[in-house]
């Protein structure tokens, strides 16, 4: 008889790969020990265990304002006139801190409170959250990422959490067949279904972008993967996704990396798509041409006014090529409006920005007449807005501490990855990241804009100076524009 084969025999290549993995794991353990960090899986598991031990919720007023942060979620409360901040991160050039704070802002008296509830999720950023008035109010949170303080460890989540406003406690919702781990995705509520699209995941070896669509039914608490017909958006993260009623949504822009052979380039998208539920079941993608949208930017903030079916997009960053080898990030403070029914873009000009101070003369009066002829003024029961006409003079903001350009400007300065929400016809912008030279400053300022009047931005939290930056230019950007571009691209993905 021949020798019996060992079905469990492992090939030499597999053994070599296993040895390599073991060496890398041991090397990482030594590096973490030197940094005083534990393995990320142990850290997150311990955080969940500690949060589960909390027996009752506690609330306390937050003196002053929350700490600076970006990549948090800012969600309108479904029943009260409040805003809800969850998670986010802060980086000062040397250390990253990720939060799982649950904060409530009352815009009537401009006060903050922090609520610590049993069973809270572990810290995360670049997640998504939606709120629903069902069951006396719920906040749903999906996905996101966790970065260790030294930024040597990185984890993507695929967990789903529900916070009950009535019971003041968290629940980890276990449901199979959901999306894979990711961050930088987008999530909206359509009727009784949570829709998740896109995102990315980076395991240290490969960075993958997603174009898949999932639906979570709040009634059955079950995930299902959608297979829409038609041509939809390519794989991407950090896009704008806004609900248009209860049976459709719009997706604009986003960020991805494209590999051609051995080279990789970044791509910021400017396309617009509608995803609609078909009568009788199923979903359909439809590309929209519409009017010209914002310039190609990543890290834009977006929010929807469900009462008027209008979306708002603010800020972002675009790469400007200075030489063949150098890129410069150009920040924006532009506010755009997207008509979700028509799929058309409009620039929002505030009444305070329409006022000019100049001495009239024949030439300027003639120019004013020409501009006025090109302007269409739209008025409805919600607001009055100027569409078209000559573009407003560009003002390049240098951050909350001040602006450069023709005269002072109120409202949020240029930034990316800010948090934005609409509550009771008021638009709020909070935090974000300001790139200045070779540094990134995480912001804590906050502003509001009455969408009925569109007079001017109001400052809720001012930021007279930028946070300290502890990073070393020579350390983080020693290779010049290549390292700077990589760092900006990573932020753009979220």
pLDDT of residue 321: 66
Which of 315, 286, 283 is CA-nearest to residue 298?
Answer: 315
Nearest to 411 by CA among 349, 466, 355: 349
In this model, does residue 124 exceed pLDDT 90?
A: yes
Distances (CA, A) of 430 to 301, 364, 400: 10, 38, 12
Q: Give the per-residue pLDDT at 380.
A: 38
Q: Which two tokens stand for residue 151?
A: 């930024």
pLDDT tier for residue 431 given thresholds of 50, 70 and 90 = very high
Calculated CA dihedral for residues 94, 99, 101, 104, nearest 10 degrees: 70
* 250 close to 274: Cβ distance less than 8 angstroms: yes
Each residue of 127-155: pLDDT tens digit? Answer: 999 999 999 999 999 999 999 888 888 89
The Cα 320–Cα 331 span in angstroms is: 10
Edge-to-edge strands of the sheet including 426-436?
419-423, 426-436, 439-450, 458-461
Mean pLDDT over 51-64 rounds to 93
The model's pTM is 0.82
Q: Which residues pair with 240 in a beta bridge?
A: 252
C-alpha to C-alpha distance for 311 and 343, rounded to whole angstroms: 10
Range with the poorest average pLDDT among 3-7, 29-33, 121-125, 353-357: 3-7
**DSSP per-residue string spanning 401-443:** T-B-SSS---S--S-BS-EEEEETTEEEEEEEEEEETTEEEEE
Euclidean distance between CA atoms 392 and 349, whole angstroms: 8
pLDDT (average), residues 361-371: 36
Spell 386-399 as b/e; 16+ CB within 10 A means b.
Answer: bbebeeeeebebeb
In sign, the C-alpha dihedral spanning 413, 417, 418, 423 is positive
pLDDT tens figures, 247-279: 999 999 999 988 777 787 889 999 999 999 999
Closest CA to 292 of 255, 239, 346, 243: 346
The DSSP code for 135 is: G
Give the closest residue to 429 by CA, choosing from 85, 63, 183.
85
Secondary structure of residue 487 in the 3-state scheme: helix
| CA atoms of 194 and 216, how far apart (whole Å) | 5
Average per-residue pLDDT for the chain:
82
């Amino acid at each position: 008889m021949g020798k019996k084969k060992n079905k469990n025999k492992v090939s030499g290549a597999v053994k070599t790969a296993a040895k390599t993995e073991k060496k890398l794991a041991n090397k990482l353990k030594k590096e973490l020990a030197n940094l005083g960090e534990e393995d990320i899986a142990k850290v997150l598991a311990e955080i969940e265990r500690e949060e589960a031990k909390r027996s009752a919720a506690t609330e306390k007023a937050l003196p002053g304002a929350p700490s600076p942060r970006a990549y948090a979620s800012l969600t309108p409360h479904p029943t009260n006139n409040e805003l809800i901040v969850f998670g986010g991160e802060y980086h000062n050039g040397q250390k990253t801190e990720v939060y799982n704070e649950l904060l409530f802002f009352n815009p009537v008296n401009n006060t903050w409170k922090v609520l610590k509830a049993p069973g809270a999720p572990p810290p995360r950023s670049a997640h998504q959250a939606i709120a629903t008035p069902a069951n006396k109010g719920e906040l749903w949170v999906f996905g996101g990422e966790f970065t260790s303080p030294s930024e040597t460890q990185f984890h993507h989540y695929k967990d789903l959490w529900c916070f009950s406003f009535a019971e003041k406690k968290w629940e980890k919702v276990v449901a199979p067949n959901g999306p894979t781990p990711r961050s930088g995705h987008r999530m909206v509520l359509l009727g009784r279904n949570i829709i998740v699209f896109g995102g990315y995941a980076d395991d240290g070896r490969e960075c993958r972008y997603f174009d898949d669509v999932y639906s979570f039914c709040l009634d059955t608490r079950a995930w299902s993967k959608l297979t829409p017909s038609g041509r939809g958006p390519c794989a991407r993260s950090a896009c704008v996704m806004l609900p248009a009623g209860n049976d459709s949504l719009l997706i604009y822009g986003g960020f991805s990396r494209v590999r051609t052979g051995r080279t990789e380039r970044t791509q910021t998208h400017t396309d617009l798509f509608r995803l609609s539920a078909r009568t009788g079941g199923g979903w359909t993608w439809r590309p929209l041409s519409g009017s010209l949208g914002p310039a190609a930017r990543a890290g834009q903030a977006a929010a929807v006014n469900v009462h008027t079916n209008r979306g708002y997009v603010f800020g972002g960053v675009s790469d400007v090529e200075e030489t063949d080898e150098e890129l410069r990030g150009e920040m924006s403070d532009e506010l755009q409006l997207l008509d979700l029914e028509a799929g058309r873009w409009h620039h929002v000009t505030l009444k305070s920005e329409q006022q000019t101070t100049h001495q009239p003369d024949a030439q300027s009066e003639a120019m004013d007449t020409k501009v006025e002829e090109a302007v269409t003024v739209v008025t409805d029961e919600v607001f009055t807005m100027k569409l078209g006409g000559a573009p407003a003079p560009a003002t390049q903001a240098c951050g909350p501490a001040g602006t450069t350009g023709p005269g002072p400007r109120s409202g949020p300065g240029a930034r990316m990855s800010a948090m934005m929400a609409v509550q009771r016809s008021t638009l709020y912008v909070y935090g974000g990241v300001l790139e200045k030279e070779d540094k990134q400053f995480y912001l804590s300022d906050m502003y509001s804009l009455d969408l009925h009047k569109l007079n001017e931005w109001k400052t809720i939290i001012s930021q007279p100076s930028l946070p300290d930056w502890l990073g070393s230019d020579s350390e983080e950007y020693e290779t010049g524009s290549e390292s700077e571009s990589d760092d900006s691209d990573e932020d753009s993905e979220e």
